[in-house]
Every structure is written in structure tokens, then in C-alpha cells.
Structure 1
Amino acid sequence: MPLSLPAPLLAHIGVVAATFAVAGFVKGVTGMGLPTVAMAVLGTLMLPAQAAALLLLPSFVTNVWQLFAGSGVRALVVRLWPMLAGIVGGTLVAAPFIAGGGVWAVAGLGAALTLYAAAGLRAWRLPVPVRHERWLSPAIGTVTGLVTGVTGVFVVPAVPYLQGLELTKEDLVQALGLSFTVSTIALAIGLAGAHAFALDGLRESFAAVLPALAGMWLGQRVRGRISAASFRRWFFICLLGLGLELMARAFV
């Protein structure tokens, strides 16, 4: 007799798979966005700490893929290590906040998504003179780590900062992959240290890897066939709506 799963469980599996397929597609097209999309959607369905634990493996695998898709990784590590160290330190300090859950974790996630979406829609750029990298890089990394530990979102303010470094397109994609990979590892350690993530939780996270990879592959295939500017605009509009909804729900 075939094994049947309860309808709520099937619905949960379907929503998670679809979420990571869409998140992977966004990452394939834009080079970023998988953790952001996953946290934005799953954050409306579960606690931020649960969503963050679920995205760990898909985020790690897709970011490593992105990181090693080209050359120059070593030079980027040498240049960006102060920012990466700040990300690790900030994330480990703040991770107990998201692990605690509650209304403020949801509100923080909504605020981070709203800020990132607004910055994307306004095309904000942070020009970074080389002479300021020595002190700005660790500061940006620390703030990014704190935001990651509080919300599970890796992008603020690391993405605008990296975009302001005037890297080549290929180096920027790899730098984003490097930053997100380090953020993912730091978040996993922080959640585990706060007892919000255990090895048993890897099973569900592992199941989300395949749809994420499939979506990323498809996004990379269609990247040259769609308007990147239009895609990004609608991506940020959707994030803005989800961020505002999370903040509103946190206080209702």
C-alpha cells in the first residue's frame, strides 16, 4: 500500500520547494537574492530562526557554486578579509536575537527587507574610495553581520558596499558569493551556538538544495534573454511588499 503524507505536510513541502526554486531563479538571473527571497517568503509562514535554518544548505551550495565560477577568488579574499572577519564577528554576537524569535525578530526581518528594497529601487550606490577601505571594510562587515544575526538577511549593507568598490562584473559576482558564503557559515555557527539549529535540521535544508539549484540553473539560462533592469525592479517591488507586510504583521 503506497505511503500517503498528510495534506498539510504536502502543502508545506510544496511551498518550501517552490520558494527555493523561485529564490534560486532570482539568484541565477541577478547573482544574489536566494537567502533574501527565501527569508522574505518563509518569514511569513514560520519564525525567522526556522526560516534561517532551512536556507543554510541551499544558500551555502549555490554561493559556493557562484564563488568558484571564475578565477580571482584568492585576490578577493586578500582584499575583503577585514569585511569577512566583521561579518563573522557581528553574526556570532547577534545570532541569539533571531534564535529568540518573537515579534522583534519578525519586525527586524521586515525592516531589513524594506530598506534593501528601497535602496534597490532608488539605485543607491556607495562610492568607496580605495583610501577608505581599510576602516570602512571591517565596519561594513560588522554591521552586515549584526543584521544577519538579527534577521537572517545577508545583503545590508554588504551589497551596496561591494557595488561601490568598482569591481569588474565577474569580480562583483564572485565577491557577492564570497560574502554570502561566509555569512551562511557564520549564521549556521551562530544558530547552533544559540541552540536554534542542530544537525538533525539539515535533512529539511538538504531537501531544499535541489529546487534551489534547478531554479538557479534556469535563471542563468535565461539571464541574457530578459531585461535585467526590469527584472530587478519587480524583484525589489515584491521584496518591498513582503517587508512592509512583515513589519505590519509583527505589530498587529
Structure 2
Amino acid sequence: MPHLLLIFIAAVFLLAGFVKGVIGLGLPTVSMGLLAVAMAPAHALAIVIVPAILTNIWQTFAGPYFLAIVKRLWPLLLGLVVGIWLNADMMTGPYARYGTVLIGVLLVIYAIIGLRRVSITVRPRDEKWIGGIIGLVTGVISAATGVQVVPSMPFMQALGMKKDELIQALGVFFTAATLAQALNLSAAGILDESVAVPGVIALAASFTGMATGQAIRTRLEPEAFRHWFLIAMILLGIYLAVVASYEIHFA
């Protein structure tokens, strides 16, 4: 892998880790969006997998709610894994070239939802069947793009969890997603020794960025940072969708 690309990967994960350190999420979303500028989504996800799994496992068990979360969200998690399995060939099959366009569109949708602060409520009696559908849809989308925030994020925010419980629930959800994605990539022969060096670089940069973001979080205005971060995601999403669509059309 060219040295310039390795430097680019380090910079991407340093920024993605920093965002996660400041606002508590965004590492896979930011890294997939930026890496898609330079490589196919499948190869980008292969590099994202290890840092995402390790950071999410830490988040999964950093709290007392694990068993309660699994009991409450098992239809969401099951639907997620099934959706990823059903769409396993999307990143490596004949439609893989559309993945970057989808990533761009999803980044725009994710950012608009965040900026508009869409607020919905899901009644407890409806959580399980709605969660199963949301998980399935998210899984299908995730298998094609590596992005797992739409439509799962609005749904989980609508469950009325306490802040610490929601953070741990997101860790459980993203851990299930990245492990299922890792199995898909391994079966496709993409998750192999060729991603070892960029994976180690990504991991080190991610934790460095997270530590930096957490250290200066008290000096920043998190809401202002989040606002401009989401605007940047819209611009990046538009860029990816337009450029990828142009390349597909004139390929």
C-alpha cells in the first residue's frame, strides 16, 4: 500500500477518533465517508472493522445495562444480523460500484436528521416488532455501505433510554453490526493479511484521536462542534454521491 495512502488512512482515523472523543459517536461513519474518497467501500470497511470492533466492545461492556439491553433489543439485533447476511454480496458483487453513492446519500440523511433534531417516540408495546424491521433495514443498508446509523439511530433515540444506557446500547448494536460485517468480508476474502498494516495504523490513530477529543472536550462547545460536524457530513455526502455517480455514468 502506498505510503501516501497510509498517511491518509492515519489522518482519517485521527479525525474520526477525535469526533468520537468529543461527541461520543461517529468513528465508523466519518471514516467510511472519508475513506470512500480514495477506495471502494468494501476495502474501506475492511480497514474500519478492527478499530470499530475494539472501540465498540469497550463501549458495550462499559456499564451495568448489558443484559437488560440485549433482552430489550434482541429483535433489533437479530434483524440487523439477518439483514447483513441477506445482503452479504452487495459490497463485492456487480452492484458494488453503487456503494459510494449510497454512502454519500446516507451521510446527507444522517446529518439532516441530526441537524433537525427529529424527535419521535416508540411505545414500549411496539418496540419489538418495530425494532425487528428497523434492524433488518439497517442490516441491508449496512451490508451495502458499512454505515449503520440509518434508520437505527433515530429509532434507538426514540426509546427513551437514559444517556448512559443509550451509549451502552449503541455499543452493543454497533458491535453486533461490525462482527457480522467482519464475517461477510472474511468470507469474501477481503478481510485478510493485506489489511493488517493499515488496520494497525487505523487502530492507533483512532485511540489517539479519541484521547485527544476527550481531553479537550471540556474546552469545546459540544453542540457547536456537533453542528459544524453534521454540516461537514452533508458536504462530504454530496461530494461522494455526485463524483461516484459521474464515474458510474461515464465508466
Category of TM-score, reference length = shorter chain: over 0.9
C-alpha separation between the residues in 2 aligned to 1:222 and 1:176? 23
C-alpha separation between the residues in 1 aligned to 2:108 and 2:87? 20
Question: Structure 1 residue 132 and structure 2 residue 126: aligned?
Answer: yes
| RMSD, aligned α-carbons | 1.5
Shift of 1:97: 0.8
Partner of residue 218, structure 2: 224
C-alpha separation between the residues in 2 aligned to 1:90 and 1:146? 5
The number of aligned residues is 245
Partner of residue 204, structure 2: 210
C-alpha separation between the residues in 1 aligned to 2:209 and 2:89? 31
Partner of residue 250, structure 1: 244
C-alpha separation between the residues in 1 aligned to 2:88 and 2:152? 18
TM-score (norm. length: structure 2): 0.92
2:5 is aligned with what amino acid? H
In structure 2, which of residues 32, 42, 50 is the aligned counterpart of residue 39 of structure 1? 32
2:171 is aligned with what amino acid? G
C-alpha separation between the residues in 2 aligned to 1:160 and 1:71? 23
TM-score (norm. length: structure 1): 0.92
Shift of 1:222: 2.4
- Listed as ranges, the gaps of 5+ residues in structure 2 are 247-251
Partner of residue 69, structure 1: 62
- Listed as ranges, the gaps of 5+ residues in structure 1 are 1-7
C-alpha separation between the residues in 1 aligned to 2:71 and 2:196? 31
Question: Structure 1 residue 16 and structure 2 residue 16: aligned?
Answer: no
Shift of 1:199: 4.7
Measured against aligned partners, the alpha-carbon deviations of 1:12-61 in whole angstroms (never above 9, x if no partner) come to 11111111011011111222100000011000111111101110001011
Measured against aligned partners, the alpha-carbon deviations of 1:210-252 in whole angstroms (never above 9, x if no partner) come to 1101111222222333222111111111111111111101221
Shift of 1:197: 2.5
1:226 is aligned with what amino acid? L
In structure 1, which of residues 60, 69, 72 is the aligned counterpart of residue 53 of structure 2? 60
2:109 is aligned with what amino acid? L
